[in-house]
Amino acid sequence: MTKNKINTFLKNKVVLVTGGTGSFGQYFVDTALTTNLKKLIVFSRDELKQSEMQARISDPRIRFFLGDVRDLSRLERAFAGVDIVIHAAALKQVPALEYNPLEAVKTNIFGTQNVIDAALNNDVHKVLLVSTDKAVNPVNLYGATKLCAEKLFIAANAYRKQADSSIFSSVRYGNVIGSRGSLLEILAKQRQKGKVTLTHKDMTRFWLRIEDAVELVMNALYHMRGGEVFVPKAPSMKVKDLITTVAPECVIETIGIRPGEKMHEALMTENEVHRTKDLKSFYIVQPDHKWWEGDHLKRYPLVPEDFVYVSNGKHSQLTKQDLKNLSLIH
């Protein structure tokens, strides 16, 4: 989407982002503040990061709300007068959530339902969930909770009061290079000791820059009608190749696949392929519900019937040189 379209779409809008002090949230805030929106609310429970953002950003349109998505009453207050909500708050560290499963359920599922209820009660026009490739055929609790969150968002469209009331959609993407707790952050610390760890030599993942994730969100906000899952055209490669590109001088120690990890990730299920439209720069998985009207997407083709969107697919694999050419590593 062009900058002019973003400016026109967000003009005089009040936007709120849950988890606004996270890696995605902070980059989204910086991007959104370059538009002519009316007000931008950062909602998170991290008071330290909020104070750091306040010190860094002097824009008078920004507001900071301390709160937890587990607290419906706080969300109700925060959503008053809001036009657009991006729901990015989540617990997402796979090993920690395997050990603390109920905490993941409370935040990622119950917290998501709270966001939906607060949005419906405040007539928020557009609500967008930030999901993950781990929600596709999940094998860990994090992925399972995000799958539930996606399903809750799709189903929430059935509770709309009227045609122009709240609509709910999702974006789904893979690993963000350089985000907090990402592989690059871990490698940066390990490189100081001259040795890095690898789970398996054949493991693959999808890789996105943070700016690509924010661009997908902006496109979704612009195009959404309620119920869709927006999926980027994301490159992928072996984790080992990324490690040897970033830390070629280091010894690699193979430690084995951790609990809850997949060898390869997927961005679509087999059941989603037959209702997925190709919009050139991204895909839209249309909801499988009677209330969905997809006439506005008629001019876009469906993906091929044999389409498979997995991180070890030959069509999407990157070489080390490709990685450098695409500037996925800065």
CATH number, domain containing residue 107: 3.40.50.720
In a domain, 185, yes or no: no
Question: Of residues 94 and 117, which shows the higher confidence score?
Answer: 117
Q: Which of 134, 146, 262, 277 is catalytic?
A: 134
State CA 282 to chain mean position distance: 14
> pLDDT by residue (tens digit) across 173-189?
988 876 666 777 788 78
Average pLDDT over residues 129-147: 96
Query: What is the structure's pLDDT at 298?
Result: 94
- Asked about 134 being catalytic, the answer comes back as yes
Average pLDDT over residues 5-29: 92
CA angle centred on 25, ends 24 and 31, rounded to 5°: 90
In a domain, 292, yes or no: yes
The torsion angles phi and psi of 268, rounded to 5 degrees, stand at -150, 150
In a domain, 155, yes or no: yes
Mean pLDDT for all residues in the chain? 90
Assessment of whether the complete model's pTM goes beyond 0.85:
yes
Domain coverage including residue 37: 3-176+207-233+267-309
Average pLDDT over residues 45-53: 96
Selection from 298, 263, 303, 299 nearest residue 283 by Cα:
303
Average pLDDT over residues 246-252: 86
**Total number of domains in the chain:** 1
In a domain, 20, yes or no: yes
pLDDT tops 50 at residue 330: no
Query: What is the structure's pLDDT at 178?
Result: 65
In a domain, 259, yes or no: no
In a domain, 120, yes or no: yes
pLDDT tops 50 at residue 312: yes
In a domain, 38, yes or no: yes
Query: What is the structure's pLDDT at 325?
Result: 63
In a domain, 239, yes or no: no
Query: What is the structure's pLDDT at 322?
Result: 67
